[in-house]
Structure 1
Amino acid sequence: MTKVKIPYSKRFLEVEIPDRNLLAILESKAHAYKVESTQEDIVNKALDNPIGSPKLEELVKGKKNLVLITSDHTRPVPSKVTLPILLRRIRAVNPKIDITILIATGFHRPTTKDEMINKFGQEIVNNEVIINHVSEDYTSMVHVGTLPSGGELLLNKLAMEAEVLISEGFIEPHFFAGFSGGRKSVLPGVASAKTVMANHCSEFIASEFARSGVIENNPIHIDMLYAAKQAKLAFILNVVIDSEKNIINAFAGDSELAHVKGCKFVMELASVKAVKADIAISSNGGYPLDQNLYQSVKGMTAAEATCMDGGVIIMVSACNDGHGGQSFYDNIANAKSPREVLDKVIKVGRNETLPDQWEFQILARILDKFTVILVSDLCDPEMIKKMHMEHAATFEEALERALKIKGKYATITVIPDGVSVVVR
C-alpha cells in the first residue's frame, strides 16, 4: 500500500492506495519548493523590485485616495501577511491617504465579518474601511465600455473613481482563465454580474484555449486583461503559495507584466504529464477552496485531464457550505442527464448567459464522460446525488466502489491537490 496525504477542509486525509493499482501521483513542485526567507521578506523583496512599474510608494505619493482590491473568503490569499505590509508601506509615504479595501467577490456571495476576521485579522477589520463588491447591485457600477468579446463592461464605482487602484492576489492554475491573479481582481472580481456572465459565456468556456495553464488565445483572459487596463489597475502584488498556504514567491508591479512573470514561475512548478488511468483521484486543495461544490469543479478538471473516458473520478472535497450557487445546483439537479445540460447550454447566446452557467457547463462536461464519487462527511449526501454524482462518507468507501465499477485491477492516478497542477 502507498500512503498519500490529501487536503480536506482544514486537515489532511491520509489514504492508502494498493500498489498493484497505482500508476502515478501527480503533484506540483510548489509543494516541495524550499525557501529560506520569511514570508514577509519575500513580499518586501517583490515590492522593492517591481516589474515594469515604479515602486508602490512612488505611485501613492501626493494622492488623496486609494482602493486596494483583495480576494474574498473563497481564495487562500495570505492577506494576514500581505495586507499589513501593503498598508504600512503606503502610509509610510502618505499617512493621510484615504484607503478603501474592496473585496473582489466576483459572482460569489459577500464575505461575512467572521470570514473577514479569519482572513485579514481582527486589527484590520476593526480599523480599516472594508467593502464587499456586490455584482448584482447595479447602482454601485459604472459603464466603462465594451469588452473585446462584445459584452458590456460595468465595473465597481469605487474602483473606477479611485486615484490609485491596486490589487493583491495569488497565482495558481485556473481551469478556464488559465491562471488566477492579476487581471482577475477586476474581472470578475469587481465587475457586474452582467459583465461576468458575458465573459463566461458557453462559447468561451467550450474553447480549446479556455483551459488550465493557457493564456495565449484564451478569449476569457483577453476580456479580463482589457477590463484591468480600462480600470487603470496601477499595481499588483501577487503571491505563490505551497500546500500549507505559505508564500514561496511574490511578484509585484505592472498588472500585466508582473502577472505574466508569476504565471511562468507557477507553470514551471505546476505542469505535470497526464498518466491516463481508469480511476483518477483529486481534491480542491482543502480549505478555503473546498467549502462548496461550485469551487470543487476546479479540482475535478485536473482529474478529467488524466482519467480515461468512462472512468471514475473520486473527488475529495468537504463542501461544508453546500453547493455554492442556486443556479448552479438547479441546472444540474433539474436536468434528466448531464448531456441534456450540455445540449441546452451551447445554444445560449453570449449576452444571455445564465447565472453560474460556466460552472454547471464544465461540471456537466465531466459528468457526461465519467462517474464522479464525491467524498465528504460534512455535506448533504442527497444534494450530491441529485446533482448526478455518487456520495461517499469516507475515501475507503469511494475507492471500494470505484474498484467495483472498473474492476479490482483498475489503474489509479492520484492528484492530491487538483487546483495546484496543470495536467498536460
Structure 2
Amino acid sequence: MKLAFEYGHGLMEANLPDDTDVFIPGETIPDPDHIPEDQIEAKTLESLRHPIGMKPLSELAKKDSTVTIIFPDKVKGGEQETAHRKVSIRLILKELYSAGVKQENILLICSNGLHRKNTDKEIRNILGDEIFNQFWYSNQIINHDSEDYDNLIDLGTTEQGDPVLMNKYVYDSDVAILIGHTLGNPYGGYSGGYKHSATGITHWKSIASHHVPKVMHRKDFTPVNTKSLMRTKFDQISMHMEEKMGKKFFCCDAVLDTSSRQIAIYSGYAKEMQPESWDIANKRTFIPYADKKYDVMVFGLPQTFHYGPGMGTNPIMLMQAISAQVVRHRRIMSDNCVIIVSSICNGEFSDEIWPYMREIYDMFQKESMNVLPDMNRYGEYFATNAEYIRKYRYANAYHPFHGFSMMSSAHIAEKNTAAIYLVGAEKPGFARGMGLKTRATFEEALADAKKKIVGDHPNILALPQTFKKASVHLMMKNETYNGEEFITHGHMH
C-alpha cells in the first residue's frame, strides 16, 4: 500500500506491505463527542460556577483582590475562536468583574516555563484580539521568566527534597487561576492540572528534579503512565506551592479532542478535579487498539511542530520526538521493534530558538559520550550559561536546561528499540551522530530491517499525521486502563 508521511514542509511516499496497519488519531477510532460550538460558553460557565472542591470565583474574589490568570504557551491547545483559552478567560474576567475586581488588579501570565517566551503576535493568537487589546498595552500580559530573580520566590523543598521556586506574581496574588488542557502527554500521562503549575511557572532547578534520567528512564515512565514518579513529583511540587501560598489554584481545564475541541470542562481544586477530568480523557487517550505486537513502527517528522521550527531536523529534538512516540506506544511494540522515520535532517538546528543545541550535539560526539545520559552531568553547566540565559530572557530562545530535559527523553527511543532508521536525510551524518541508521527511502530501510532484525513477515504499524494531530496512547486490545492500573484480560490470539 502507498502511504505518505510528513517530511520537511511536505510529504514523503512509502510503499509498504498490504497488511500494514494504519492508525490516525481521531479517524481510525473516533474521539468521544465534543461539545457543540453553540454550547461551549454555557458549559464553561457552568463549570466555573460549580467548581469541584472549592468556592466559585464570585466568592473567592473580592473588590480589592489581585488576580493572576495563568495560561499555557503556544505549544499547547488550539487557537480557534472557540478555543478553551479564549472562551474561559473571557468568562472568568466577567465573573471577576461582577465580584467587583478592578481590571488594573488582573495580571495574565503565559506559563512558558523553560519554553521560549511567546511573542506579542503569538500571545494575540492565543488570547484573541479583545483580551489582548485590553491587557497588553498596560503591561498586564507577561511571559513567565524563570531567571527573573526579583520576581521569583524560593519556597524551600518538598518533603522529597525537590526545590520549589515559583513565580512571585502568582504567589503574591489573592486569587491564582490556572487555565489548562487535559490532553495526552508522554510526560506523566496528561497536560493540565498540577503539571501546568509545576512546569509552567517554576525555575529550572524545580524542573531538573523530574525532567532528568533518574526519573525519565524508570520503568514507570515508559510506557506512559499517570502514576509515574514524574507525575507524583508534579503533584507534590504544586501542592507544596499551594501550602506555602496559603491558597489553592483555581483550575479550569478542558479535556480536548484531536482537533483541540472541548470534550468536557472541569474547574476547581486540582487534587480533586484531575482524576475526574482524566476519567473522561482516558476514553480518548488510552486506546485498546492492537491485537498483536508490532515489529516495525513507521512515521514522519515535519520540519516544524509543537516545540517550534526546525524541530524535525535538529538532531536532539528529532530524537525527543521519536522517543515521545515510544513512550506513548511502548505497550504495543515488540521488544525488538524497529522504528523507521522520515526527516529532511538537513543540519538546521534553529539556532535562534535553540542556541545551545549545536554545542550539546558537538559535545555528544566526543569525550567518552557513549549514550545520551553520559551528557547529563553537564546540565547545570549549560543551565547557568549567562549568554544562553540572556537569549532565553530577551531573545525568545528556549532555556538551556530545556535541552537537557529533551536529551533525557531522547535516550528512551534507543533504550526501547532494536534500531531506528532515518530516511530521506539531506545531511545523514547528523542522524548517525545520534546513533540512527540512515537510508534514502522507507523501502530500503524496511528491507534492511527485515534482513537483519525483524525477519520476512514483520507486523508493521504506520502512523501518518503523527505530529499534525493530537496523539493518543495505544494499548493492546485486551488491555484497559481504569485510571489506577492497566488490566490485561484473557489471551490474545
For each residue in 1:284-313, what CA deviation from the matched residue of structure 2 results, as whole angstroms up to 9, or x when unmatched? 898545652546342353355544445432
AA aligned to 2:233 is: D
Q: Is 1:113–2:123 an aligned residue pair?
A: no
Determine which of 195, 198, 214 is the counterpart of 1:203: 214
Contact 1:333 1:388 in 2 (8 A): no
1:363 matched to which residue of 2?
A: 410
Residue 35 of structure 1 is matched in structure 2 by 34
Aligned with residue 165 of structure 2, among 154, 165, 186: 154
| Counterpart residue number, 1:413 | 461
- Tell me the CA shift for residue 373 of structure 1: 4.8
Shift of residue 267, structure 1, vs aligned partner: 1.6
Aligned to 1:187: 198
Q: Is the 8 A contact 1:49 1:55 kept in 2?
A: yes
1:313 partnered with 2:339: yes
Q: Secondary structure at the match of 1:148?
A: coil
Query: CA, structure 1 residues 299+376, in 2 after alignment: closer, same or farther (shift >3 Å)?
Result: farther
Q: Could you tell me how far apart the structure 2 residues matched to 1:158 and 1:358 are? A: 26
How far, CA to CA, are the matches of 1:345 and 1:211 in structure 2? 21
Give the CA deviation at 1:364: 2.0
**1:117: how far off?**
1.7
Return the offset for 1:225: 1.5
Q: What is the aligned partner in structure 2 of residue 101 from structure 1?
A: 108
Partners of 1:134 and 1:220 in 2: CA distance: 23
Q: Matched residues in 1 for 2:77 and 2:308: separation?
A: 11
User: Post-superposition shift, 1:158?
Assistant: 0.7
| One of 348, 354, 364 as aligned partner of 1:335 | 364
Q: Following the alignment from structure 2 to structure 1, what is the Cα–Cα distance between the partners of residues 255 and 10?
A: 21
Instruction: Tell me what 2:487 maps to.
Output: none
- What letter corresponds to residue 72 of structure 2 in structure 1? S
Q: Deviations over 1:161-182 (max 9, x none)?
A: 1111110111122223232111
* Counterpart for residue 443 of structure 2: 400
Structure 2 residue aligned with 1:222: 232
| SS of structure 1 residue aligned to 2:107 | strand
SS at match of 1:149: coil
Q: Distance in 2 between matches of 1:402 and 1:95?
A: 62
Residue 55 of structure 1 is matched in structure 2 by 56
Rounded Cα–Cα distance in structure 2 between residues aligned with 1:276 and 1:106: 37
User: What amino acid maps onto 2:287 in structure 1?
Assistant: V
Could you list the per-position Cα deviations for residues 53-86 of structure 1 after superposition, in whole angstroms to 9, with x for gaps in the alignment?
2222222233421011110121125323332222
SS at match of 1:187: helix
Indicate which of 88, 92, 96 corresponds to 2:98.
Answer: 92
Give the Cα–Cα distance (whole angstroms) in 2 for the partners of residues 125 and 146 of structure 1.
36
In structure 2, the gaps of 5 or more residues are: 243-247, 384-400, 451-455, 476-493
Identify the match of residue 261 of structure 1 among 257, 271, 276.
Answer: 276
Q: So what's the TM-score if we normalise by structure 1?
A: 0.82
Cα displacement string for residues 239-262 of structure 1 (whole angstroms, at most 9, x for unaligned residues)? 122222222221111122112211
Closer, same or farther: CA 215–334 of 1 in aligned 2, 3 Å: same
For 2:357 and 2:407, how far apart are their aligned partners in 1? 5
Contact 1:176 1:212 in 2 (8 A): no
User: Quick check: 112-121 or 318-327, which moved more?
Assistant: 318-327
AA of the residue aligned to 2:18: R
Alpha-carbon distance between aligned partners in 2 of 1:177 and 1:328, rounded to the nearest angstrom: 25
Return 5+ residue gaps in structure 1 as ranges: none
Cα offset for 1:269?
Answer: 2.0
Q: Could you tell me which amino acid in structure 1 is paired with residue 92 of structure 2?
A: L
Contact preservation (8 Å) 2:180, 2:253 = yes
> AA paired with 1:174?
N
Q: Is the 8 A contact 2:69 2:108 kept in 1?
A: yes
Structure 1 residues 301 and 73: CA distance shift in structure 2, 3 A = same
C-alpha contact (below 8 Å) 2:62/2:101 kept by paired residues: no
Pick which of 75-84 and 50-59 moved more: 75-84
Aligned residue identity for 1:44: L
1:144 Cα deviation from its structure 2 partner:
0.9
1:25 aligns with 2:23: yes
Find out whether 1:76 has 2:85 as its counterpart: no
Counterpart CA distance in 2 for 1:376 and 1:127 is 47
Distance in 2 between residues matched to 1:423 and 1:263, nearest whole Å: 16
- 3-state DSSP class of the match of 1:199? coil
Shift of 1:339: 7.6
Say if 2:332 and 2:474, in contact at 8 Å, map to a contact too.
yes
Structure 1 pair 123/280, CA: closer, same or farther in 2 (3 Å)?
same
CA contact (8 A) 1:314 1:373 kept: yes
Counterpart of 1:420 in structure 2: which amino acid? S
Distance 1:156 1:406 in 2: 49
CA contact under 8 A between 1:43 and 1:82: conserved in structure 2?
yes
Return closer, same or farther for 1:310/1:267 CA change in 2, 3 Å cut-off: same
Count of aligned pairs: 415
Q: CA RMSD in A?
A: 3.8
- Aligned residue identity for 2:90: P
Larger CA deviation: 190-199 vs 225-234: 225-234
Taking the aligned partners of 1:283 and 1:42, their CA distance within structure 2 comes to: 37
SS at match of 1:102: strand
**Residue 280 of structure 1 pairs with residue 304 of structure 2:** no
Which structure has the bigger radius of gyration? Answer: 2
Distance of 1:189 and 1:162 partners within structure 2: 17
- Please tell me whether residue 243 in structure 1 is matched to residue 281 in structure 2: no
Aligned residue identity for 1:172: L
Which whole-Å CA distance do the structure 2 matches of 1:352 and 1:264 have between them?
A: 41
Any conservation in 1 of the 2:326–2:412 contact (CA below 8 Å)? no
Query: CA contact under 8 A between 1:141 and 1:155: conserved in structure 2?
Result: yes
Instruction: Determine the C-alpha separation between the residues in 2 that align with 1:8 and 1:86.
Output: 41
Are the structure 2 counterparts of residues 389 and 138 from structure 1 closer, same or farther at C-alpha, using a change threshold of 3 Å? Answer: farther
8 Å contact kept, 2:146–2:204: yes
Question: Could you state the TM-score of these two structures normalised by the residue count of structure 2?
Answer: 0.71
